[in-house]
A = this chain, B = another copy of it.
Amino acid sequence: MAFEGEGTRVEQVMAAIRQRIAGRALQPGAKAPSIRAFAAAMGVSKSTVVEAYDRLTAEGVIQARRGSGFYVAGRAPPLALADIGPRLDRSIDPLWVSRQSLEARPDALMPGCGWLPTDWMPQDAVRRALRGLARAAHANLTDYSPPLGSPALRQLLSRRLAEHGVEAPPGQIMLTESGTQAIDLVCRFLLEPGDTVIVDDPCYFNFHAMLRAHRAKVIGAPWTPCGPDLEVFEQRLIEHSPRLYITNSGPQNPTGAQLSPVVAHRMLKLAERHGVAIIEDDIYADLEIEPAPRLAAFDGLDRVVHIGSFSKTLSAAARCGFIAARGGWIEDLVDLKVATSFGGGQLAAELTRAILTDSGYRRYLASLRERLARARGEALRRLRALGFEPWLTPQAGMFLWMALPPGLDAAPVAQRALAEGVVLAPGDAFSLSQSARGYMRFNVAQCADGRAYDVLERAMAL
């Protein structure tokens, strides 16, 4: 037991040194803190620091120089996302839910996963579109796409955006290989390492992971049932001069809340006053019943960049995302896309266009929304029976943000459930301030199998 505790402390010291190197507080070639000083600073024994430094030396992270102490190795270690930013408990790492969901065995139950089950997706429409492409004499099956992406699909997206009040001519729309790649490109375009970015707390966990990769300083603003808490949001703007705010306008991930028009208006005024750019990630648009206001519609694509994709409702195997932004930005984003991924995704674009223009797609969406509403009611009933309470009852989308019974911590419950083959999404994965340990996100479409509730109940009882 003593030895195990000792091991943990050694690892804490190792992690602290790695973090300083990753955060560039210790540059390559710099002298590491002395053993005596670091032992005092960390509140551990000198022998613990000696052991940690020895192991870091064996790993090549630091080097001992005879008689003069330890130095950071000549080269910074390669970028490991897990080492950047505050070290989080393994179960609430921003990548934990993604990787568990993506790696899950076919028979795993995944109430925590962020997408629809295979048999909820429009399989027949995709097969029909594939057959159509195989037949079409003029389909582009082998060539690169033009830099902005398929003109026909951009034309269609422009019309669809207009239905949401977003005026984006096809020349201001650039196709990408996914919504995630779209956000990543905009971050590459707008952010310098060290820039500050606001996210909602809670928000989609992958925003945290991606912003770490950009070496951004991430701060959170509490999310309310109508949008960001404007008082705190303004404070953050004044204190931190952020460059960028990333948010959802349709059903928010993970809470399902939708932005109100009044909050949208006031938030945009604050953003304008403080010179903040905004990414509006709108990938759940097709699940909405009462459309929320679009920031890009209010703002006229001035400081708002609008992101969409069809991975959630059409196919995540042939992905296609897009960016709508002001004209001058699109031109530079095209250069950046060509430099970092060249032009591609034409087949997915053709497939997407074929399905979007298939009259069956609107019918599929209508029945999907109804199916989600039924599944939401059923999941709410069964989770309430286990003592969960909804933070809000969403009008649309696939998520429920549920408070656990008082005193229960979502992380160990998720870990225990995982051991029984059930992937859950513990609240702190979504929360920058780590203040959501009493919450879990459930995907109502993935909650049909009663075994998930049995496993959840056992994991909560332990």
Copies in the complex: 2
Interface size (A, Cβ < 8 Å)? Answer: 79
Pair A341/B78 contact, Cβ less than 8 Å: no
- Chain B binder among A63-71, A186-194, A403-411, A436-444: A186-194
Residues of B within 8 A of A226 (CB): none
Q: State whether the Cβ of A122 lies closer than 8 Å to any Cβ in chain B.
A: yes
Report A19 CB to chain B, min CB distance, Å.
15
Pair A213/B184 contact, Cβ less than 8 Å: no
Pair A341/B184 contact, Cβ less than 8 Å: yes
Q: Give the complex CA separation of A190 and B76 in angstroms.
A: 9
Pair B123/A142 contact, Cβ less than 8 Å: yes
Known interface pairs A190-B78, A341-B178. Does A347 touch B335 (Cβ–Cβ under 8 Å)?
Answer: no
- Chain B binder among A124-132, A376-384, A390-398: A124-132
Q: Give the complex CA separation of A122 and B133 in angstroms.
A: 15
Q: State whether the Cβ of A240 lies closer than 8 Å to any Cβ in chain B.
A: no
Pair B335/A82 contact, Cβ less than 8 Å: yes
Q: State whether the Cβ of A141 lies closer than 8 Å to any Cβ in chain B.
A: yes
Considering only residues 191-214 of chain A, those with a C-beta below 8 Å from chain B are: 192-193, 206, 209-210, 212-213
Q: State whether the Cβ of A345 lies closer than 8 Å to any Cβ in chain B.
A: yes
Nearest to A83 among chain B residues (CB) is B332
Q: State whether the Cβ of A103 lies closer than 8 Å to any Cβ in chain B.
A: yes
Considering only residues 73-96 of chain A, those with a C-beta below 8 Å from chain B are: 74-76, 78-82, 94-95
Known interface pairs A206-B338, A344-B311. Does A189 touch B316 (Cβ–Cβ under 8 Å)?
Answer: no
Q: Which of B103, B121, B344 contacts A319 (CB 8 A)?
A: B344
Q: Give the complex CA separation of A188 and B209 in angstroms.
A: 14
Pair A339/B118 contact, Cβ less than 8 Å: no
Pair A344/B178 contact, Cβ less than 8 Å: yes
Q: Give the complex CA separation of A115 and B192 in angstroms.
A: 34
Nearest to A150 among chain B residues (CB) is B317
Q: State whether the Cβ of A340 lies closer than 8 Å to any Cβ in chain B.
A: yes
Pair A123/B99 contact, Cβ less than 8 Å: no
Q: State whether the Cβ of A260 lies closer than 8 Å to any Cβ in chain B.
A: no
Q: Give the complex CA separation of A78 and B335 in angstroms.
A: 13
Pair A79/B141 contact, Cβ less than 8 Å: no
The 8 A CB mask of A116-158 against B (1 = contact, 0 = none) is 0010011100111011011100001111111100000000000
Q: State whether the Cβ of A387 lies closer than 8 Å to any Cβ in chain B.
A: no
A-B contact pairs, 12 of them (CB 8 A): A76-B192, A79-B192, A95-B339, A98-B343, A126-B142, A128-B134, A142-B315, A144-B311, A206-B339, A317-B345, A317-B347, A319-B344
Residues of chain A at the chain B interface (Cβ within 8 Å): 24, 74-76, 78-82, 94-95, 98-99, 102-103, 115, 118, 121-123, 126-128, 130-131, 133-135, 140-147, 177-178, 180-181, 184, 188-190, 192-193, 206, 209-210, 212-213, 241, 243, 275, 311, 314-319, 329, 332, 334-336, 338-348, 350-351
Q: With A99-B338, A145-B317, A209-B338 given, can you name 9 additional A-B contacts, CB distance below 8 Å? A: A81-B339, A102-B144, A115-B143, A141-B317, A209-B335, A317-B347, A318-B346, A319-B345, A347-B351
The 5 closest A-B pairs by CB, nearest first: A121-B142, A209-B339, A317-B346, A130-B134, A318-B347
